[in-house]
Each structure stands twice: as C-alpha cells, then as structure tokens.
Amino acid sequence: MESSVKASVDSETESSPGVNETAAASGQRLSEKTRQQADQPKTQDDLVEQNSSYVQDSPSKKRKLDVEIILDEKHSEDDGGASKRSKLERGGGSEDEPSPGGLTERKRKLQPQDALETQTRKFQKLEEGHSSAVAAHYNELQEVGLVKRSQSRIFYLRNFNNWIKSILIGEILEKVRQRKNRDITVLDLGCGKGGDLLKWRKGRISRLVCADIADISMKQCQQRYEDMKCRRDNEYIFSAEFITADCSKELLVEKFHDPEMYFDICSCQFACHYSFESLEQADMMLRNACGRLNPGGYFIGTTPNSFELMMAKKYNMKLIYKKTFLEFYEEKIKNNENKMLLKRMQALESYPANENSKLASEKAGDYAHAAEYMKNSQVRLPLGTLSKSEWEATSIYLVFAFEKQQ
C-alpha cells in the first residue's frame, strides 16, 4: 500500500464504469505513534479535532468538535466537566478537590469517618467504571435535524462511516440469504438512536432486537421505528424490541421477550470498544454478541483495532476478515454500485470547493494531499476526498466479520 491514500471518485459523473483515484490523504498509514495508540478507545471526532494528536482520554470523554459524535448524531458538552469527571472515574480526586496549597490543612482536618466515606465513593466510581458516564453523556444529547447535521464540520466523515456500515451490512445480509431467505433475525448491540434501522428495513429482515446502555437513546430509537412503521403503511417492516442494558455487564438473553430466540446477525457499530475497559466486560459483550448466533450466523462491526475481539473464538467464532477502513474502501469501491452509493450518500467532499461553498476544514494544509494529487495526475475535477485530519481519524478503525461455526 502506498504511503498516501489513493482512491478518489470523479464527482462530476455517476455513470463512469471505472473509478478515478480518490484524492489521497498523505500520511493515511498509521504513524508509529498511532500504531502504539490504536487500541485506545476513541471516536473519530476526537481525532479530527486534535488533528491526529490522538488524545489518551477515556471513551466517556465529552467530545467538543462541532457538537456531534460520528454516526449517532450526538453532541458534546463543556470539556472541563468531562476532564473533571474523567479524573474522578480514575479515582484521582473528589468533587471538592482542594487546591494544592490547602491540601495539607485539609488532610489534618480529615476525620477517620470522612476518610472512609471518601474512599468508599472512590471505590464506587471505580466499580461503575465508564458505563454510567457514557450512558449519562448520550442521554443528554439532543436530537438535531438534517439541516443542522449538514452544517457539521464532520458531515462528510460521518457519511463516509455510514457508507462503510451500509456496504458491510448489505454484504453480510447477502451471505445469510445464501443459507436462508426468510425469518432473518438481527441483534443490534449499542444501537444508539437507531441509525441503522433503515439499513435493516432495506435488508428485509424479519426481527430486530436493539440494545443500548442509554435509556433516552433507546426511546428515540423506538420512536424512529414507530415513525418508520407509520410512513410505510403498505410495506412490510420487521418486528422489533428494545432493551436498555449495559451489554458489557448484563446478560441480554435474560431480557429477551423470547428467551429461546437465536440470531443470524449481530451488529455492533462503533461501540465494541466501550466494553474494553476490562477483560470481563469484553467477554460479556462477546457472550451477548455470539452466544445466541445460529450456526453460520455472523458477528460484524466497526471498531478501533483491538486484540479483545479475538476472544470471540471462545464462542466458536471464526474470523472471516478484519480490514482497515482504507483496505475495505479500496476493495469495495471497485464495485460500480458501491461507487454510486458513495456519491448518493455524499460520503466524500468535493475538492476544490465551488464558488458557492467552502471546504469543511479551514486548517492550513488539510487538503495538501488533494492539491498534490491534482498536480501529478490527469483527473477530472472536482475530486472526492476527505481532509487529512479526517483520513487520519479513519485510520485507526477497522471492519470485522466473524462466522459462527457448526
């Protein structure tokens, strides 16, 4: 693989059978620093905001970039509170943490009972881990409309991620249909507000179980489903149930309406890494994901590269593939239908911008890769690309698929 991303779509025509090289992000391959940090759970808006500095925060850190989190249409809050909470979760201080100058005096005044209560609170926070903070964060997020989303700094990156998910889900559904063409059941772990509901409807599945830790997100997901049913009066839509639970700490089968239910697909998109706080939590997530799959069923998802996923072998799962976003993109874009979908979803930004628009990133040098590519190649303009920061944000993520063995 070359050191810069190639693969650009000619955004002037949708009928071209070939694919022009996409404007590449120089430095798309992981730097040594990135490789060392690739297993750290993060979301892509953090990485874009930091311009590839790859912060070391916990998964529950409140995001700041353009008040949205990738794919789930989520917003951020003041970073100061998040830093304070992150410190509390690590047991590094209490909510009234004294200034360094007053620390000695406070210690002198601390009574044994006070010290015990303080230590108890710290242990409680450690025991809760990040789960409560993650749930609280997503519960606080407000729903936004299409217009607001289109104004997001990460509008194209979110669409690119959504394209990756669409191709993955469609491909696996086709594999399932080679074995059975009806009564397809799906478990959506970490479903959020239901961003993939439309994908499952288009996939003509029979039943969907959605699970997420954030109860407000689950209510919004359920409302989306009800709205979808109302809009499709004469069209069949899958049946669904909605479960609010921490999929890394609770056994979902105990909450199913039908305790004997099995699934053909379990999908976990941009959420697996929240369970990587401990091996026990990772194992519970994988037990929920794989334990109720039919033989020949699939566990699929998108996640930062992490060895915890290989624990799925414990549940008789065989790794079918594991590819970086770049590898997956370069392979799937060769298909003309996939290329057309990429354009319809506005998954790449046009470069250079036309006179009535502006580029998503205003950072100097963020499109140097595209400008350089234009100089060295015979291409039709505009190119389709992402900013360098966005390409680098995608570089730590991968697509995976496991198959349940007989």
Q: Convert the pLDDT of each residue in 86-124 to its tens digit.
A: 333 444 443 444 344 443 444 444 444 554 454 445 444
Residue 70, number of CB atoms within 10 A of its CB: 25
At 145 the three-state DSSP class reads coil
Confidence label for 55 from pLDDT (cuts 50, 70 and 90) = very low
**Rounded Cα–Cα distance for residues 387 and 146 (Å):** 22
Predicted confidence (pLDDT) at residue 320 exceeds the cutoff of 90: yes
Q: For the CA atoms of 43, 45, 47, 50, what is the dihedral angle to 10 degrees?
A: -140
Predicted confidence (pLDDT) at residue 295 exceeds the cutoff of 80: yes
Report helix, strand and coil shares of the chain as percent, to nearest 5: 45, 15, 40
Q: Which pairs from 228-234 meet CB under 8 Å and 24+ separation?
A: 228/197, 228/198, 228/201, 232/201
Could you report how far apart the first and last alpha carbons of the chain are, in Å? Answer: 36
Confidence label for 152 from pLDDT (cuts 50, 70 and 90) = confident
Q: Which of 7-11, 14-18, 128-132, 387-391 shows the lowest mean pLDDT across its residues? A: 14-18
Q: Check residue 24 and give its pLDDT.
A: 42
Q: Using the 8-state DSSP alphabet, how is residue 390 labeled?
A: H
In single-letter form, the type of residue at position 355 comes to E
Mean local confidence (pLDDT), 68-75: 35
Q: Check residue 230 and give its pLDDT.
A: 87
Residue 204, number of CB atoms within 10 A of its CB: 14
Instruction: Give, for 69, the enclosing helix (H) or strand (E).
Output: none
User: Could you tell me what percent of the chain has a pLDDT over 90?
Assistant: 52
What pTM did the predictor assign? 0.70
Residues 99, 102, 107, 109: is their CA dihedral positive or negative? negative
